[in-house]
Structure 1
Amino acid sequence: MKNSVATQSFPKLVSLFASLLLLFHLVLAADYVPTEKILLNCGEKSDLSDNDNRKWTPDVGSKFLTGTEKSVTSPASSQDPAVPEVPYMTARVFHSNFTYSFPVVSGRKFVRLYFYANSYDGQNATNALFSVTSGSYTLLKNFSAAQTSEALNYAFVIKEYSINVDGDHLNLTFSPSSTPSNAYAFVNGIEVLSMPDLYSNSDGVPIVGQQVPLTIDNATALENVYRLNVGGSDISPSGDTGLFRSWYDDQPYLFGAAFGVSAAADPNVTIDYGTMATYTAPVNVYTSARSMGPNAPINDNYNLTWLFSIDSGFSYLVRLHFCEFTDNITKINQRVFNIFINNQTAELGFDVIAAAEQVDVPVYRDYVVVVPGSNSQQDLWLALHPNETDKPQYYDAILNGVEIFKINDLNNNLAGPNPIPGPKQDIVDPSLALPSHSGRTKNQTAIIAGGVSGGVILLLVIGFCVVGAARRRRRGKDSSTSDGPSGWLPLSLYGNSHSAGSAKTNTTGSYASSLPSNLCRHFSFAEIKAATKNFDEALVLGVGGFGKVYKGEIDGGTTKVAIKRGNPLSEQGVHEFQTEIEMLSKLRHRHLVSLIGYCEENCEMILVYDYMAYGTLREHLYKTQKPPLPWKQRLEICIGAARGLHYLHTGAKHTIIHRDVKTTNILLDEKWVAKVSDFGLSKTGPTLDHTHVSTVVKGSFGYLDPEYFRRQQLTDKSDVYSFGVVLFEILCARPALNPTLPKEQVSLAEWAA
């Protein structure tokens, strides 16, 4: 009888177990739904929604304000076009200690503080100097939003913390610094969000270079300092997993000459989180990655490296996200690599497939690194290198995402020093100046002086290596007749262009129907006329083979643009105009000029680009009244342009060869960020089974790769050669060709090499 009852109960137990298992997986598969979500728009009187359609409540009359402390509300005196309205256009200003008190249930919370350095209540932005505490934790100390924004080139600042709350209230206290006497505190927005226990580890996280792990528990407070979608693009808070985290592109943090290769998963790939909660990181993090590339001999000689500026005197939690999603990596010991943090071994022989046990399954690894020192900033190095000991099938490494958190010290402090602004050039357009800009300091001058000798040596080494390597490279044996995007004669956005290549016959007629309708913005001719004040000659920035380029304003004068208007008598035709739109509208990168839109009404051929406040790089090198560029800034410009070219060669869906790399095609925005421009001669590169593209030679004399000119076989190395000439031009401050010099000095490349 007992056996009969047991037999009857068994199916029920199996069914119950299966239901619980299904429920467990459903819980894991769901995005996190916070039980507490407070978005407080400080200084505001009404409900507003931000760019992610999140609703912010006003703090005027809010229950979160304590009744006895004094404060004032104020709108920002101005708005940078890059700054969203919510929550940055109003602030609450404090001239004495002030506390916000949020009723919450106990548990861990995300706390995000939003700051926009501006003038509030008639106060100077540089006088905003204050500290922020929460319970026993010091989050900020003598914090200057103005100095931080200037030093890091941030339009606004977001500080994110993970804090455990033991009681029923989360208090945030803002305290103006004691000096200067007119110091004040302010805040634009406060976000409080309940969160899962995502980063704690009671068993301890291994400390790099030490034997004893570090426990991260309820007594630990964290500050997020970096969160990157490696190999992918930015992910906004609405694209996160319910935790409203922002993930950023990793390109600005790559270090060294080799940037690796970015990759994206096939759209049909489904990420299986397995036993890992899906809110750990969004799918987009695990379907993009950066690897070293397929060339084993090259990979064996370098590390794939990222560099992060951090505060010394703290320990840091480094979380690395991994997922193998490619068809050729499906088994153990195919891709095995070592992980190094701050020149110490974090892990040897890491194999993503071995850790995840199958393909398309993400995993992460946590490490703690101790950074000694006090009250200064250092660099944290993260490097990957193939593990030769295990003899893997591929000598390669891969990374999908990075999160770096500062851990509170023994005094429960998370606050570091304000970053020091670097050297700046005089602002050409006063409207572009930061509110706190006050000229060059003695410390900044010392930085420039110290960097001159190193900058000269580095540019010399890079220039000789690039040109020399381009001359010595192996010649390909295969050829391809793939056309790719055909070229036009290049037009520098801000100057003349003298190029080699045959002209094309211009055609006229109706072509609106063949232009892409979903790639970028379409402007009416009336909008273009309004933007350029009916093509006012006073707004002409440059003239080239395609026509004139005008400075313009769109969207009610809030956005400055460069408008390139085709000349009806130009040698460049409709096909090239369409190709430019189709190519540039698909490319988005920090170091590439962005195409905003086009106009083709009335048989016009008009392109609208981002406005580059400082014009071309060449304008700042020679034959100019402008002040010379500091060497440190020249190096930053070189690195930026190199990253733009590297993205064209490896980061886009198909390799793109620019074919006209020169100093007039490197533009500088209002923050001196270098951007590669003018893709009129660009071509799609060879496929994997070919080494080059056979094509008619086009480009600019003085920059042309001799082997490309002689053999008419185009590879990405042709761009590398041209970039080497650019480096010499930056170093020597002379044109690539100067016919007035003795014969042996006419060509900069030949003379320098």
Structure 2
Amino acid sequence: YEPIDNHLIDCGSSINNSVGDRVFLADNSNSNILSTPHNIFASTSSKISLAYGSVLYQTARILNETSHYTFSIKAPGRHWIRLHFFPSLYGIYNSSTAKFSVSSQNFTFIKEYQPQNDSYLIKEYSLNVTSDRLVLTFTPYANSFAFINALEVFLLPQEIIPEEAIVIGLSGGKKLLQEQALETVARVNMGNETVNPGNDTLWRLWVSDGAYLIHSYLVKFVSNITSVEFRSEGPTNYTAPATVYGTATKLDSELDPRTKANVTWIFYVDAGFEYLVRFHFCDIFGKSIQRLYFSAYINSLLVYENLDLLHMTSNTLGAPYFIDAITGVGDSRMLNVSVGPSTVGDPYPNGILNGLEIMKISNSRGSLDVLDSISSNSPISKTEVVIVGLTVGLFISVVVALVLFLLCRRRKLAGGGCSKVEDNFAVNTLSMGSKYSKFGHRFPLVMILEATNNFSENLVIGIGGFGKVYEGVLKDQIKVAVKRGVPQSQQGLAEFRTELEMLSHLRHRHLVSLIGYCDEKNEMIIIYDYMEKGTLKNHLYGSNLPSLTWRQRLDICIGAARGLHYLHTGSAKAIIHRDVKSANILLDENFMAKVADFGLSKVGPELDQTHVSTAVKGSFGYLDPEYLITQQLNQKSDVYSFGVVMFEVLCGRAVIDPSLPQEKANLIKWAMKLQKSGQLEEIMDCSLIGQVKQDSLKKFGEIAAKCLAEHGVDRPSMGDVLWNLESLLQQQ
């Protein structure tokens, strides 16, 4: 591929350097590409071996003031921009102290880059260039500097990025991409093989899928590169090379036609963004197996049902094919991709994938940086708060005034005066005409607004996928928690109804109590008991709250276990919580645990059944892997999640911590490894040192490990877990 625009810069170098068949030009003081107040060249003695060529990482350009790289553009269209960073010691400049942003064409690529370790970083972006030049701006923070090792800017073939793609989920429709910037966050080759840039037509690195694959025992890796046959009317080798289309990860069902499992890969991405996901497919199996039929999913949402590859490629074996889809990612940061059995065709369940690309889409702020993410957790500027506050306040004032006027007018017409507002709402719940009236007391919206000071941001005590939770005070000075769902959300509406249905029928001292709800003006508001001490999660990590004692932690585990045991056994049909995590265990003023958030709960199987089949929902890190694969849910899925919480309680850290070394990033993998070797004290919360007896620690670890058994049938019931924890507390 020889692009019309092809700018390759070896930053800080005084000579041109070759990487494969490409030549990176020297970034010297005579260059008219870079505009910077100071020409600072740097080099490092650190050596690194990389697929892109280590020569690019021996020199760097140091930018201690705002600087601009300007590239001439001959052909308008979408261009790739690759930024190469290698944190190291560059003379007197230690890159660990660097802090800077990178932007182009009103898009923010990087808002606050600070090297966290000595690992190299390649950031790849694409944007549609319509002018005759492209400017990259590096802006260092005060008393800091920026650095860059190499730059690539080149025109892309038209077929690489679509002009639009379907949006999966409830919103549906299509999204135009022409005016969006994209960032590549994952490029994966299936078949457990890596494809290096030298073997790719566009110098891309395709990493092996092994690190992302859940349960490799379910799959078979296949390689048949010679069978790939590019067609003139289909994807080309620019879309992906034959080395990608010629390898695949396949559901291994040949020995058991009853296999009903999805092959799933899990990726961590930034919350609050939409993502373009490209599935690459190619039937490289020839006539060795029958016609392939399977379905594809993103986060359990159907992307394509009963895909027939041969039909899509005009009955050409080995012909590549791809599907693009867009999905949003919420606070869970989890994006899982699955392929699995179809409901038609081959009696043997199938599911294959050859390659996968995930690209982040710039948001309404024109940013691709997580610090600018638009999510329930994103920070809001003071200006935005003032504007929104004034707008909402004015709107509410007008509405309340209008309501008061109409009420007074109606009372006067009936021969009476205007009474207090609350008197007008003192009516029987059933007469309100709500479709949810059977669920308890229905509060008028004006009363909720008064209790929460018009949903003041200062009263927010929690944020989740459903919406925000506010501290409120009712007329009788009773404190309540007010959970307000995101308006017009169909998913939120389903969770709202589910939670009301569950809580209206459940009463237990270790479950949060429902006080009432409000569905006026399409609001989705649930009012609960106020829990003085907040979430268990906040007492374990991520806040400045005092550390819990070992006995407090055991009591909390026992309380939560009692609540879950009641859910599983307290009614004719078991109720499966489906989102057990430390953030959904609340603590009252005495640190008594209560299980909360029933929006994802599901009624369990009949007595003569082992499970219910349902789309996978829950929180990443806590999900039962067996449920994730089979989509078959039962009470043992809650048991698995509770086992995760137990290790959280013991270790006082997050389940997933990407800032830690790879072997320690996943708490469960790390804890289970140490549990087997009898070294759990190594990851025990340091505040617990001296409080936990050795026998107690060993027993606690054994209970948690049993909860985390790979197969649900090998896990204890919540009743067994509760009994063991209560015995442990007595021994302690």
| TM-score normalised per structure 2 | 0.50
| TM-score normalised per structure 1 | 0.49
